[in-house]
Amino acid sequence: MSYLIPTTLEDALDALSGPVPVAVIAGGTDWFPAQGERAYGGTLLDVTRVAGLRGITPHHDGWRIGAATTWSDVLHADLPRAFDGLKQAAREVGSVQIQNAGTVAGNLCNASPAADGVPPLLCLDTEVELSSLRGVRRVALGAFIAGVRQTLRAPDELVTALYIPPLPAGARGGFTKIGGRKYLVISVAMVGAVLELSSGRIASARVAVGAASPVAQRLEVLEQALVGADLAGALDQVTPARLSTLSPISDVRGSAEYRGEAVAEAIRRTLKLIMEGPSHG
Amino acid sequence: MDKVATSQVTGFTLNNAPVQVAARPGERLSQALRERLGARDVKIGCNAGDCGACTVLVDGAPVCACLMPVQQAAGRRVETLAGLAQGDPDALRLKESFQHHQAAQCGICTPGMMVSAVALLRAEPQPDVAQVQDALGGVLCRCTGYRKIIDAVVGAHAADTLQEAAQELGAPARRFDGKAKVEGRDLFGDDVAPEGALVARVIRSPYPHARFSFGDLSAFAARAGVEAVLTAADVKGLNAYGVIPGFIDQPVFAVDTVLFRGEAVACVVGDAETMLALDPADFPVSWEPLDALMTVPQALAEGAPLLHSDRPGNIMCGGFVACGDAEAALAAADVVVDGFYETSFVEHAYIEPEAGWAEVVEGRVVVQACTQATGMDRETLAQVLGIDRADIRILPTAVGGGFGSKIDVSVQPFLALAALRTGRAVRMCYTRVESMQSTTKRHPARIDIRVGAKADGTLAGLSFHGDFNTGSYASWGPTVANRVPVHASGPYFIRDYRAQSRAVHTHCPPSGAFRGFGVPQSAIAQETAFDVLADRLGMDPLEFRLKNALRDGQPTVCGQVFEQGVGIHACLEALKPAYQAAKRACAVFNAENDGVRRGVGVAGGWYGCGNTSLPNPSTFKAGLRPDGTLVLHQGAMDIGQGSNTVIVQIFARAFGVPVADVTVLGADTDITPDAGKTSASRQTFVSGNAARLTGEALRAHVLQLANASDGAEIILNDGHLHVRDADRVQHVDLSRLEADPEGYALKAVKTYDPPVAPMDGNGQGVPYAQFGYAAHLCVAEIDLKLGQVTPVSFTAAHDVGRAINPLLVEGQVQGGIAQGLGMALMEEFIPGRTENLHDYLIPTIGDVPPIETLILEIEDAHGPYGAKGLGEHVLIPTAPAIFNAVYNATGVRLMHAPATPARVRAALKEAGYA
């Protein structure tokens, strides 16, 4: 029973590769609620002071987001418009209190189907960097989250960074969250999108949906159908058939039927938001 | 830093002072601050980041202290309200502004709100409303409705220009107990236990219905750090509690069988560290789950097993009111509207979970906890412990919201039993999940209603049947059953009426008292049916209500006639300007927008103050000490609503001195007479009258001594008592009078009990001495594709008889509307599924729109200075006003609360919306 606060990655990875199980904690915003009221009796590895783990930096014409970067860091970073959806999602993660503590990688490792950060990161073609004493590997975000509360992270691995490949020039992002109240709310469904526009038409599209399947997913069939469309055409392309890979469930936040409809509407609104700019009213 | 933090000591700066703390690895910062560093101004509401009460600044950034390991604060700067309130310039401004606007009611969320606001003001000294909402969106408040908090933060920059209002009766005085709340000094249920107190934890059923048996309890009790294990066998008195004679049916500890998920079967007492590590799953109890009846139809089904063998059909009790011939009137009506309505369990969701501590002092049991009902707590403990009432002292703490649920006992029996058993101080604080699982809820209702009218718009017959899911034990279910038929007519003149209610047992948590006792549910059915009726008649819904509004001299459905003070007509009239403006604005909006529609809805409401046809006394005591100190023994529990302020304003007026001359003691059952429970909107009315009578009696003593006339002026100055009568000023030397054993030279004790009379078999009689009246107007926007209903504004007209304190009136109105909004649109407690504050949603600061309060003063014959009760009236018209706005906008009649987006969208589709 101890609390480890390493300042170097090597020490952090060393701690993870020992014989004793170690729980990783960063912002704590998911860890404590999962732990419940009972005092924790094991060993905790706090990664918030590991050098190089926090911050957003340009990287090979793309971007690197340190694993312990908080949602407030995302919100205040100077980033191209393709990241607008990620920033909009950052504002929707819990509350200011949660955004000040909660980290981007924590949101991914928690692997909730309703994680607000996942759809916009999927739309940025994010890769997850996993480090261990065995080495470093990168996994596509869509593969990294393997199921509800399941990831590909091995017990001795630490998520160290997210990598976002170069983005099409002029790409714009957007995000729409549907929830039961204004703040502090778990999504009924949410949609992220990144569009490359040319003369009012979509040159390329990436659309991802969360909380409507065990793992948030990109809608590739829809993305292809959107290419070449203007706004009116794009809205028409959002058909049930192109959403068929989703599997919305009924729960306390809404019925499966409602989720399905809300997703389609949220996609249309996200497309509109990106192609028209923020609406008034 | 070393890769392994072998040192258990964490150092950081707390409110500008260096501190060191030896905490467990991964201990929550909130826990360390409160329990190791004494920072009890950091409040814990959920331990999950859902409520924000524990917000502190770490290096200037607001975070939830419950979600940060204390070790993460090493070397950093931590600020809490108590520290900020000492000298931070933004906090000083907020202190003034919060008090000026009454942004703190109960005060439990205030530290989280103010700390968040300090961070905002440091970055943005003059924020707008949207910025305040974004910055404070992570802190929940259940009392204020948030608008006063927004006003306080938006206006904080100009705090030094605020003029403090007068304190006398009728003035919008600041709360007299407000300063401690904005400085983080107010002490709530979990803030008062002495260091080293043992901790008690209840073992609860994970099943809604199960048989159980214990394993080796003595082996468990022998574990290191465990001091005692309590079960039903340890209850020396009656292993049952309740609130209504004849319905004392809930065991302190279940015996053999549990009837709801969360029911207590045992209690473990031990040292704090042991209890924190305790896994309830280790407790030696084995369960045999049984089939559970979770809904009213299941419980009423032919052959359904009985929860209580002496309550056939699972029907606990019912209520009935009839006058005239409802069926005949409906048959003769020109238009009849019927409908079936459903509502859901609603959770009180006060931000302060139940908490307190107990000890045995010189053979007497002292329980200090948050409560709405000190006298009833003492009564219950006397029965459970099998000891005399005189051997029990109930010393309430500040109460972080109650809304009805803290009338019933929660922690008190466990604490008292544990203190008696161990002979030591014992504390406990419910977890949020435990609080939500085990304490009372608002009754879900299933209502069939039929209302008729003549072609000219005159109401012609109303028939009402409501089944209320009363859960596993009685609590206040009988009161709900009684109140609903009396109120289900709404404040309208109806000659032919028949209303029946039943309280039905299920394997759900006990339903009990919740602001309005069933009336908010019945008002949804009646007030929305009225709009459909008006629509079919081709009448404007407001005009329809005005035409039928009860008037002075007209009998209620109980045959009760008020010759004065029937204020519903005035409330509805008062809405007219806002109503006309809203109709025009909605028309313009709808012409300009697609996909969203706005509508305006109105609804009326009434509520009888005090117990229904039962005695409901309140007693006050006041005295003058030989040194000239004027003392009021104030036993009415202030749970945020403001009786610490209003009662004193009334007493000071009655005695005839400024408020500042009054020293207030209590509440404390050892020194305050029983003022009765804080419920039924009775404190201003009933206790206000008792305080008035006490003040008048003491005044009469003084005037008699001075041989002065009734109109004389009493002057208390530096301990000197003078009476000025016309030109004559006389000194009354109190020190020459012999003080009584309590130390008073002069004393008065007075009781007020509202004049009511029993109702007969048809509910005819005098259920209440007074009613208060209300009418709400809501403009709501409906997102047709997403089914989201967003209230845009409210206008609330309330007849309060006499506004003792208009600032507190506004606070009650706004807070009630927020709860009504939650009930209408999002709140649905589902046992086993929404037992936390992220699955169970209450409105946030972004969900409550601007509220205009119109205060009407139509004097009541009995109320102190004409005042009427208010606390519960404020949410009765809210939900139906919202639903009527949706009906006005879309033609869709909402009949299931909460009207979640999924339900609204389904209703819109059924009505043909694409």
What ipTM was estimated for this complex?
A: 0.97
Residue B902 to chain A, least CA–CA distance (Å): 5
Structure tokens at A192: 């992220």
* pLDDT greater than 80 at residue B5: no
Task: Give the sign of the dihedral formed by CA A9, CA A14, CA A17, CA A18.
Answer: negative
pLDDT at B7: 55
Q: Residue B355 in contact with residue B430, Cβ under 8 Å? A: yes
pLDDT at residue A278 in the model = 62
Share of chain A above pLDDT 70, in %: 99
Report the alpha-carbon angle B68-B69-B73, nearest 5.
Answer: 85
Min Cα distance A60 → chain B (Å) is: 31
Partners of A6 on chain B (C-beta within 8 Å) are 1, 3
Report the alpha-carbon distance of residue B120 to residue B113 in Å, rounded. Answer: 11
Three-class HEC string of B861-890: CCCHHHCCCCCCHHHCCHHHHHHHHHHHHH
Residue A8 with chain B: CB contacts under 8 Å? 3
Nearest alpha-carbon partner for A128 in A158, A163, A153, A152: A163
Question: B-chain residues within 8 Å CB-CB of A94?
Answer: 49, 138
Q: Provide the pLDDT for residue B6.
A: 44
Taking an 8 Å cut-off on Cβ atoms, the answer to whether B69 and A1 are in contact is: no
Task: Please report the residues numbered 208 through 237 in chain B whose beta carbons come closer than 8 angstroms to any beta carbon of chain A.
Answer: none
Beta-carbon separation of A28 and B69 below 8 A: yes
DSSP 3-state of B757: strand
> Does residue B667 have a cis bond before it (omega within 30 degrees)?
yes
Domain boundaries, chain B: 1-167, 198-291+349-438, 518-609+770-910, 618-752
> pLDDT for B24-44, tens place per residue?
999 999 999 999 999 999 999
pLDDT of the residue at B838: 97
Q: What is the pLDDT of residue B718?
A: 87
Interchain contact, B67 vs A5, CB within 8 Å: no
**Rounded mean pLDDT, B209-230:** 98
For chain B, what percent of residues have pLDDT higher than 90?
99
Burial of B170 (0-12, 13-18, 19+ CB in 10 A): middle
Q: Which helix (H) or strand (E) holds A90?
A: helix A84-92
Average pLDDT over residues B443-469: 98
The DSSP-derived string for B357-386 is EEEEETTEEEEEE--S-HHHHHHHHHHHHT
Q: Give the span between the Cα atoms of B634 and B617, in whole angstroms.
A: 14
End-to-end C-alpha distance for chain B, whole angstroms: 62
Contact B769, B564 (CB under 8 A): no
The β-bridge partners of A172 are: A195
Whether chain A has a CB inside 8 Å of the CB on B69: the answer is: yes
Q: Which amino acid is residue B676, in one-letter code?
A: G
pLDDT of residue B450: 98
Task: Among A97, A158, A235, A276, pick the best mutation site for testing chain B contact (most B Cβ within 10 A).
Answer: A97
Instruction: With cut-offs at 50, 70 and 90, classify the pLDDT of residue A277.
Output: confident
CA–CA dist B878, B793 (Å, integer): 11
Q: Nearest CA to CA, how far is A224 from chain B (Å)?
A: 25
Q: Which two tokens stand for residue A32?
A: 């404590």
State chain B's maximal CA–CA distance in angstroms: 88
**Contacts across the A-B interface (CB distance below 8 Å):** 173
B476: nearest Cα among B379, B526, B409: B409
Q: How far apart are CA B144 and CA B133, in angstroms?
A: 14
Helix, strand or coil for residue B627? coil
Q: Round to whole Å and give the CA distance between B199 and B226.
A: 10
Substitution target in A110, A182, A184 with the highest count of B β-carbons within 10 Å is: A184
Q: For position B8, what pLDDT does the model report? A: 81
- CATH superfamily, domain at B1-167: Beta-grasp domain (3.10.20.30)
pLDDT band at B230 (very low <50, low <70, confident <90, very high): very high
Q: What is the mean pLDDT of residues B507-527?
A: 98
pLDDT at A26: 98
| Whole-prediction pTM | 0.98
Q: Which residues pair with B14 in a beta bridge?
A: B17, B78
- Architecture of B618-752 per CATH? 2-Layer Sandwich (3.30)
Report the distance separating Cα A111 and Cα B587, nearest Å.
46
Q: Are B898 and B346 in contact (CB under 8 A)?
A: no
For residue B2, pLDDT beyond 50: no
DSSP state, residue B742: T
Distance from CA of B765 to the nearest CA of A (A): 44
- Could you tell me if A17 lies within 8 Å of chain B, comparing CB atoms? no
Answer with the residue of higher pLDDT: B878 or A1.
B878
**Cis status, amide bond into B898, omega within 30 of 0:** yes
Q: What's the per-residue H, E or C state across B572-599? A: HHHCHHHHHHHHHHHHHHHHHCCCEEEE
For residues B45-66, average pLDDT: 98
Is residue A281 over pLDDT 80? Answer: no
Closest among B140, B103, B145 to B874, alpha carbons compared: B145
Class of domain A172-276: alpha beta
CATH 3.30.1490.20 is held by the domain B518-609+770-910: no
**Among B62, B68, B901, beta carbon nearest to A258:** B901
Q: Which residue has the tokens 């015996």?
A: B255
Shortest alpha-carbon distance between residue B491 and chain A (Å): 32
d(CA B796, CA B778): 9
The model's confidence at residue B514, banded by pLDDT at 50, 70 and 90, is very high
In this predicted structure, the answer to whether residue A279 has a pLDDT above a threshold of 70 is no
CA distances to B127, B372, B564, B568, B879 from B689, rounded to whole Å, are: 43, 19, 18, 23, 32
In this predicted model, what pLDDT tens digit does every residue of B123-138 receive, in sequence order?
999 999 999 999 999 9
Residue B240 DSSP one-character state: -
- Residue with the two structure tokens 């100009």: B158
Average pLDDT over residues A198-207: 96
pLDDT of B597 above 80: yes
A117 is written with which tokens? 């950060």
B:249-278 residues touching chain A, CB 8 A cutoff: 273, 276-278
- Token readout for B146 is 């948030």
Task: Say what the pLDDT of residue B719 is.
Answer: 87
Q: Which of residues 117-146 of A touch B (CB under 8 A)?
A: none
Q: Are both B1-167 and B518-609+770-910 of the same fold?
A: no
Q: What order do you get walking across the sheet with B198-204 strand by strand?
A: B226-230, B264-270, B198-204, B426-429, B355-361, B364-369, B392-394
Considering only CB atoms, which chain B residues are within 8 Å of A71? none
User: Averaged over B243-258, what is the pLDDT?
Assistant: 98
Helix (H) or strand (E) holding A191: strand A189-198
Mean pLDDT calculated for residue range B552-565: 98
Contact B670, B392 (CB under 8 A): no
Per-residue pLDDT, averaged over B710-724, amounts to: 95
Task: Sort out which chain A residues have CB atoms less than 8 A from B905's CB and list them.
Answer: 258, 261-262
Half-sphere exposure (Cβ direction) of B109: Cα atoms closer than 13 Å:
30
- Alpha-carbon distance of A227 to A223, in angstroms, equals 7
Place of tokens 């312990």: A68
What are the tens digits of pLDDT across the range B67-89? Answer: 999 999 999 999 999 999 999 99
Q: Is B57 left (phi over 0), alpha (psi -120 to 50) or beta?
A: beta
Answer yes or no: are the C-beta atoms of B321 and B389 closer than 8 Å. no
Would you say residue A38 has pLDDT above 50? yes
pLDDT of residue B3: 45
Tell me which chain B residues have a C-beta less than 8 angstroms from the C-beta of A15.
3-4
Q: Hey, are the CB atoms on A101 and B844 less than 8 Å from each other?
A: no
B117 to chain A: nearest residue by CA?
A: A96
Among A residues 214-233, those touching chain B with beta carbons less than 8 Å apart: none
| Look-up of token digits 């002072």 | B17
What are the Cα distances from residue B375, in Å, to B306, B326, B395, B673, B678?
33, 42, 10, 9, 11
Distance CA B845, CA B149 (A): 9
pLDDT band at B4 (very low <50, low <70, confident <90, very high): very low
A179 pLDDT above the threshold of 70:
yes
CA separation, residue A116 to residues A94, A191, B245, B380 (Å): 9, 9, 52, 48
B828: nearest CA partner in chain A: A252
Q: Is B535 on the interface with A (CB under 8 A)?
A: no
Is residue B288 predicted with pLDDT exceeding 50? Answer: yes
Taking the C-alpha atoms of residue B568 and residue A113, their distance in angstroms, rounded to an integer, is 50
Hey, which bits of B324-458 come out as E strands?
Answer: 335-342, 346-347, 355-361, 364-369, 392-394, 426-429, 441-442, 445-453
Name the CATH topology of B198-291+349-438: Aldehyde Oxidoreductase; domain 4 (3.30.365)
How big is chain A, counted in residues? 281
